[in-house]
Amino acid sequence: MLSKKLLQANNRYQLSPASDSDSSSLILACPFNDNYGLSDMSPIIRGFGNSYNLITNNASLDTSRNKFYNSSIQVASPFPSSSVRIQTSANIPAFGSNDFCVETWLYVPSIGTNNCAVFYNHNDTNNGFQCLILGSSTGYSGKLYFSGGAGGDVSRSGNSIPLGQWFHFAFTRSSTVLRLFINGVNSIQIGGTVTTNFTLSSAARLFVQFDTTYNTVRAQDFRIYQGSAKYTSNFTPPGAMFI
């Protein structure tokens, strides 16, 4: 049962942040629920600092399916544009060569034709990096794919993502080791030689992009940590960021 406090100002319920041992490294946290909408709640969890404003293209809150709350964000097909995006209105700090963790819960009902970006912070040339779910046209349908820094550090996950159910996804960097986790299991590891500095152009601030051929994809509890890998071995996926 969720513990809630009535927020008198707007007649909504304010949820309490769950414990997070890496909260000091958390730079963005989006529950994607009807309590907080498309807001970055990282200052509430950290206990200090400012939040990022988020903007979207063809994404909305959906009450028909959720992992933890009464709603999640959905990306439904068809839309007039070829993709939908959720992004910060201002640049997030460059990852550089520091440790990081990007994680979220996803619901993917089926695999589309093209690639589906879970995280995309790239300037469309050689700076930054991206993590995709590969589409059916690639020959690696449903695999997680990481690409960073001038086409280097490219890898595909060993296991396909589970369809028609919520699953936890995380990719991390710890020193010179990159890892991709599906439901807390290390699906692929690139270790020992990753020295790439994941710098970005000033225009690179996109962090979610879904191809509409994936039908209705949903996301919940999207988090970005900088300065902490958070996960370096198999783990039990976290519960809700708010309780």
Range(s) of the domain holding residue 168: 25-226
Measured distance CA(196)–CA(194) in Å, rounded: 6
- Output the pLDDT for position 11: 41
pLDDT at residue 149, as a whole number: 62
Q: What is the pLDDT of residue 206?
A: 66
Mean pLDDT of all residues in the chain? 82
**Is 2 contained in some domain?**
no
Q: Does residue 234 belong to any structural domain of this protein?
A: no
Q: Is the dihedral of CA 125, 97, 105, 36 positive or negative?
A: negative
Q: How sure is the predictor about 116, in pLDDT bands with cuts at 50, 70 and 90? A: confident
Which is it for the CA torsion 91, 93, 60, 111, positive or negative? positive
pLDDT (tens digit, 9 = 90+) per residue, 54-102? 888 777 888 888 999 888 888 765 544 556 778 888 888 888 889 999 9
Is residue 213 pLDDT above 80, yes or no?
no
More confident residue, 116 or 100: 100
Per the domain annotation, does 93 fall within a domain?
A: yes
Q: For residue 13, name the pLDDT band (cuts at 50, 70, 90).
A: low
* 202, part of any domain: yes
CATH at residue 143: 2.60.120.200
Tokens of residue 232, six digits: 């370096």
Structure tokens belonging to residue 40: 């970055």
Is residue 6 in a domain? no
pLDDT at residue 47, rounded to an integer: 93
Number of domains within the chain: 1
**222/117 Cα distance (integer angstroms):** 13
Average pLDDT over every residue of 181-195: 85
Residues 147/130, Cβ–Cβ less than 8 Å: yes
Q: Which residues contact 156 (CB under 8 A, 6 or more apart)?
A: 134, 140, 143, 144, 145, 146, 188
Note the residue count of the chain: 243
Task: Evaluate whether 171 touches 179 at the Cβ level (below 8 Å).
Answer: yes
Question: Taking 60 as the threshold, does the pLDDT of residue 7 lie above it?
Answer: no
Alpha-carbon gap, residue 205 to 190, rounded angstroms: 25
Within a domain: residue 126? Answer: yes
What is the percentage of the chain residues whose pLDDT exceeds 70? Answer: 81
pLDDT of residue 231: 97
Predicted confidence (pLDDT) per residue in 130-181, tens digit: 888 888 888 899 998 888 765 567 788 888 999 999 999 999 999 988 899 9
pLDDT of residue 201: 57
Write down the pLDDT at residue 24.
96
* Tokens describing residue 20: 């997070």
Nearest Cα residue to 79 out of 56, 49, 100, 98: 56
Backbone angles phi, psi at 23, to 5 degrees: -60, -30
Q: What is the biggest distance separating any 2 CA atoms in the chain, rounded to whole angstroms?
A: 53
Please tell me the pTM assigned to this model: 0.89
Inside any domain, residue 112: yes
Q: Which of 50-64, 158-172, 202-216, 228-242 is predicted least confidently?
A: 202-216
**Is 190 a residue whose pLDDT tops 90?**
no
Please check whether residue 70 lies inside any domain of the structure.
Answer: yes
CB contact at 8 A, 198 and 151 = no
